[in-house]
Amino acid sequence: MIPSPGERAAQTPEDSVAPDLGADPGRTYRLGIMGGTFDPIHNGHLVTAQQASDDLNLDLVLFMPAGSPAFKQDRDVSGPEDRFAMTLLATADNPLFMASRLEIDREGITYTVDTLEELRKRCPENVELYFITGADAIIDIISWHRAERIAEIATLVGATRPGYDLAWAKAAIEGSGIPFDVRYLEVPALAISSSYLRDRTHSGQSIRYLTKDSVIGYIQKRGLYRGARA
Ligand code: ATP
Ligand code: MG
């Protein structure tokens, strides 16, 4: 059973994985995982996850803010608790979405393969894993830590993202020799990024309609993205 938004706000690290997913042994469940820095989460992330749920019949999408992102060592990333709080706020009203603490509660650099291994261990066999990424991230996938193992554990979902060429990503993945199972998705184009929201906030411009009002309120309350740029 998928918990109600009220129950979800009180989630603990243990039950934030996917409570009861897989409970009926007579059917297969599909668990989506949307990884990211989410600094901050925005409507591009939300639209992509919704589209993946609709097209692939996912039972739940876990939004997984990265603890110490492997690819973002070059700038100051907001603290994990702030990024998790914004993720929780943005996902709380959608019964298909859930924020997960799995990566932020892990020490050290975040590797996707470790997250997928952990989910594979915790979920029953009748739960299939779908790892959702935008076109930019999927291009990098072949160079990710233990990419062969990722291909064994999860189906990849590559979503279009304005400014990134999915055809090139397809060719690179096919040429990699790693047997990835990839589903490609057309999502309504939202040419926005967390960097864009940070820049606008920094220069005092509105980010209204680019992310949820609850996230905007949180950014204001905590004074995020106002200081000197890294
Ligand atoms: P930043 O500008 O800080 O890199 P971002 O907007 O790319 O932020 P991330 O947290 O890096 O956000 O991305 C998480 C995932 O969401 C990645 O797989 C990324 O490709 C995807 N994504 C981000 N923005 C969009 C968008 N507008 N449309 C589709 N996918 C997106
Ligand atoms: Mg990015």
CATH number of 37's domain: 3.40.50.620
How many domains are there within the chain?
Answer: 1
Reduced to 3 states (helix: H, G, I; strand: E, B; else coil), residue 31 is: strand
Q: Which residue minimizes the CA distance to atom 6 of ligand 1?
A: 193
Q: Which atom of ligand 1 is nearest to the CA of 160?
A: 29
Q: Is residue 159 part of a domain?
A: yes
Q: Is 195 in the pocket of ligand 1 (CB under 6 A)?
A: yes
What pLDDT, on a 0 to 100 scale, did the predictor assign at position 203? 96
What's the gap in Å between 6 CA and the centre of ligand 2? 30
Q: Is 198 in the pocket of ligand 1 (CB under 6 A)?
A: no
Q: Is 137 in the pocket of ligand 1 (CB under 6 A)?
A: yes
Reduced to 3 states (helix: H, G, I; strand: E, B; else coil), residue 165 is: coil
- Which tokens is 112 given? 């996707």
What pLDDT, on a 0 to 100 scale, did the predictor assign at position 1? 41
What pLDDT, on a 0 to 100 scale, did the predictor assign at position 19? 59
Q: Is residue 102 part of a domain?
A: yes
Q: Is 194 in the pocket of ligand 1 (CB under 6 A)?
A: yes
* Structural domain boundaries, residue 150: 5-191
Q: Is residue 218 part of a domain?
A: no
What's the gap in Å between 15 CA and the centre of ligand 2? 27
> How many angstroms separate the CA atoms of 48 and 41, rounded?
12
Q: Is residue 74 part of a domain?
A: yes
What pLDDT, on a 0 to 100 scale, did the predictor assign at position 3? 45
Q: Is 189 in the pocket of ligand 1 (CB under 6 A)?
A: no
- What is residue 224's DSSP assignment? T
Q: Is residue 223 part of a domain?
A: no
CA dihedral defined by 177, 183, 186, 188, rounded to 10 degrees?
A: -110
Q: Is 190 in the pocket of ligand 1 (CB under 6 A)?
A: yes
Q: Is 181 in the pocket of ligand 1 (CB under 6 A)?
A: no
- Which tokens is 97 given? 């979405």
Q: Is residue 122 part of a domain?
A: yes
Question: Which parts of the chain register pLDDT below 50?
Answer: 1-14
β-pairing, 127-134 vs 154-159, is parallel
What is the DSSP secondary-structure string of 33-68? EEEE--TT--HHHHHHHHHHHHHHT-SEEEEEE-SS
From 34, 38, 42, 45, give the residue whose CB has the most ligand 1 atoms within 8 Å, as the site to mutate: 45
Residues 6+ positions from 174 with CB-CB distance below 8 Å = none
Q: Is residue 209 part of a domain?
A: no
Q: Is residue 15 part of a domain?
A: yes
What pLDDT, on a 0 to 100 scale, did the predictor assign at position 10? 43
Residues 6+ positions from 200 with CB-CB distance below 8 Å = 206, 207, 210
Residues 6+ positions from 160 with CB-CB distance below 8 Å = 134, 135, 166, 184, 185, 186, 187, 189
What's the gap in Å between 64 CA and the centre of ligand 2? 14
- What is the per-residue pLDDT across 107-156, written as a single tens digit (0 to 9) for each? 888 788 999 999 999 999 999 999 999 988 888 888 888 999 999 999 99
